[in-house]
């Protein structure tokens, strides 16, 4: 038995040394290493030996089998890879995989979401194709009111509501309609921001785009007042533009808030001294805001006698333009890799 094993071992090693082609490999594999090959036959015949002998030869046979298999694998790799048994040369430089990354507006959106979640706000979303009612009427902009002229959009008529009445659908002009949806769904008290894509029917140029991003914020509860709005906008400004940022609020008409105002922050590029970006004023107009109009609270199913609220709307696209010094808004939707790869 021992001799038979030794002879077989020598024979196989010799054959392995002579392997020159894949055909040789196949032949040897079949003859010696396959299930019915000679090595397995020897292993099989061990069971006929006495216990003592079986123990002794078992060890030896297993060891020999392992040695032969290793030698064969090495020869196989050498033939298949033609590299002397080395399967992989880890010192070779790899192929550089190109990775994509987030769009600049998404980067800013995530920063803003982190900031507001840390202040206890939920992040919610609403439909981009919105009913005329939510986009305008419920926000205190009734049909035929001149305030409708402030935001022209793309009208898509024809859907039917639950009562089978024709619904006028519009591409939403702002994220404000989601205020109504949020109030109806969650009631008061409520703290949420709504980032999202908006649309306007405008001639495009370096400062105007038909598709852009905003984020809306609202806070509804008992005794929400103007001081809450001011301090919140101050915190947000400092977080986005740096700790020395100052806020000033100037009255402005927005139909869905009363009083309504424009929040301006000291220009983060010149620290308020005056530069090209802030048109030498030292201030950047960033946010529309105010205390939610009682009609809007009512449209949201909230009793204005019991609750009050604040709301604000930032231009996410505008924030991205300022932060990255982008001077043409159209670049964001252009899909131009030369532009996108800079972020
Ligand atoms: N929806 C306004 C716009 O798109 C921005 C805005 C102004 C949102 C005042 C508000 C607000 O919530 O209170 O121009």
What is the predicted pLDDT for the residue at 11? 87
Per the structure, the count of domains in the chain is: 2
In ligand 1, which atom is closest to the CA atom of 214? 4
Ligand 1 site, residue 176, Cβ cutoff 6 A: yes
Ligand 1 centroid from CA 326, angstroms: 23
In ligand 1, which atom is closest to the CA atom of 176? 1
The whole-number average pLDDT for the span 16-28 is 86
In ligand 1, which atom is closest to the CA atom of 292? 13
What is the predicted pLDDT for the residue at 99? 86
* Residue appearing with tokens 């509804």: 220
What is the predicted pLDDT for the residue at 288? 98
Ligand 1 site, residue 290, Cβ cutoff 6 A: yes
| Per-residue confidence band for 50, with pLDDT thresholds at 50, 70 and 90 | confident
What is the predicted pLDDT for the residue at 15? 87
In ligand 1, which atom is closest to the CA atom of 150? 14
Ligand 1 site, residue 215, Cβ cutoff 6 A: no
- Specify the higher pLDDT residue, 80 or 290: 290
Ligand 1 centroid from CA 98, angstroms: 40
| Per-residue confidence band for 86, with pLDDT thresholds at 50, 70 and 90 | low
DSSP 56: H
Judgement on whether residues 15 and 119 belong to the same structural domain of the protein: no
What is the predicted pLDDT for the residue at 104? 95
What is the predicted pLDDT for the residue at 219? 98
Q: What is the DSSP string of 71-114?
A: HHHHHHHHHHH-STT----TTS--PPPP-----HHHHHHHHHHH
Judgement on whether residues 81 and 111 belong to the same structural domain of the protein: no
Specify the range with the lowest mean pLDDT, choosing from 54-58, 81-85, 188-192. Answer: 81-85
pLDDT digits (tens, 9 = 90+) for 239-270: 999 999 999 999 999 999 999 999 999 998 89
Judgement on whether residues 252 and 180 belong to the same structural domain of the protein: yes
Instruction: Tell me the longest C-alpha to C-alpha distance in the chain.
Output: 107
Ligand 1 centroid from CA 274, angstroms: 26
What is the predicted pLDDT for the residue at 72? 85
Can you read off the two tokens belonging to residue 212?
């852009």
- Specify the higher pLDDT residue, 163 or 340: 340
Ligand 1 site, residue 194, Cβ cutoff 6 A: no
Judgement on whether residues 331 and 290 belong to the same structural domain of the protein: yes
Judgement on whether residues 282 and 184 belong to the same structural domain of the protein: yes
- Specify the higher pLDDT residue, 89 or 254: 254
Ligand 1 centroid from CA 149, angstroms: 15
Identify whether 157 is part of a domain.
no
Identify whether 250 is part of a domain.
yes
What is the predicted pLDDT for the residue at 85? 53
CA distances from 285 to 171, 186, 314 (A): 25, 31, 10
Give residue 40's domain range: 2-85
What is the predicted pLDDT for the residue at 78? 80
Average pLDDT, the chain: 91
| Per-residue confidence band for 190, with pLDDT thresholds at 50, 70 and 90 | very high
Ligand 1 centroid from CA 160, angstroms: 28
Ligand 1 centroid from CA 106, angstroms: 20
Identify whether 98 is part of a domain.
no
- Specify the higher pLDDT residue, 159 or 27: 27
Q: What is the DSSP string of 239-280?
A: HHH-TT--EEEEE---TTEEEEEEEEEE-TTTTTS--TTTTT
Ligand 1 site, residue 254, Cβ cutoff 6 A: yes
Judgement on whether residues 112 and 50 belong to the same structural domain of the protein: no
What is the predicted pLDDT for the residue at 195? 98
| Per-residue confidence band for 61, with pLDDT thresholds at 50, 70 and 90 | confident
Judgement on whether residues 118 and 21 belong to the same structural domain of the protein: no
In ligand 1, which atom is closest to the CA atom of 175? 1
Judgement on whether residues 123 and 35 belong to the same structural domain of the protein: no
- If one residue of 140, 291, 299, 312 were mutated to test the ligand 1 pocket, choosing by the most ligand atoms within 8 A of its CB, it would be 312
Report if pTM > 0.85. Answer: no
| Per-residue confidence band for 159, with pLDDT thresholds at 50, 70 and 90 | low
Ligand 1 centroid from CA 263, angstroms: 11
């Amino acid at each position: 038995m021992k001799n038979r094993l030794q002879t077989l071992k020598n024979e196989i090693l010799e054959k392995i040394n002579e392997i020159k082609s894949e055909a040789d490999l196949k032949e040897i594999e079949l003859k010696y290493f396959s299930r019915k090959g000679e090595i397995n036959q020897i292993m099989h015949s061990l069971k006929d030996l006495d216990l003592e002998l079986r123990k002794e030869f078992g060890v030896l046979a297993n060891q020999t089998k392992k040695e032969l298999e290793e030698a064969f694998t090495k020869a196989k790799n050498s033939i298949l890879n033609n590299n002397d048994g080395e399967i992989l040369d880890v010192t070779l430089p790899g192929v550089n995989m190109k990775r994509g990354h987030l769009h600049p507006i998404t980067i800013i959106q995530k920063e803003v979401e982190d900031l507001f979640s840390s202040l206890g706000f939920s992040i919610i979303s609403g439909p981009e194709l919105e009913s005329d009612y939510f986009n305008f009427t419920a926000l205190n902009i009734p049909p035929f009111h001149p305030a409708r002229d402030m935001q022209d959009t793309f009208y898509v008529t024809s859907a039917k509501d639950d009562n089978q009445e024709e619904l006028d659908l519009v591409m939403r002009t702002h994220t404000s309609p989601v205020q109504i949806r949020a109030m109806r769904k969650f009631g008061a008290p409520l703290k949420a921001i709504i980032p999202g894509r908006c649309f306007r029917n405008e001639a495009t140029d370096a400062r105007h785009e038909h598709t852009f991003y905003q984020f809306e914020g609202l806070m509804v509860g008992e005794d929400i007042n103007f001081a809450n709005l001011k301090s919140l906008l101050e915190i947000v400004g400092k977080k986005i533009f740096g700790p020395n940022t100052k806020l000033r609020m100037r009255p402005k008409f927005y139909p869905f808030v009363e009083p309504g105002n424009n929040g301006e922050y000291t220009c983060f590029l010149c620290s308020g001294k005056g530069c090209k970006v802030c048109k030498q004023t030292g201030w950047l107009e960033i946010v529309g805001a105010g205390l939610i109009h009682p009609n809007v609270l009512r449209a949201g199913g909230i009793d204005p006698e019991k609750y009050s609220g604040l709301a604000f709307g930032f231009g996410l696209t505008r924030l991205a333009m300022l932060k990255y010094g982008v001077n043409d808004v159209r670049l964001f939707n252009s899909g131009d890799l030369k532009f996108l790869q800079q972020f």
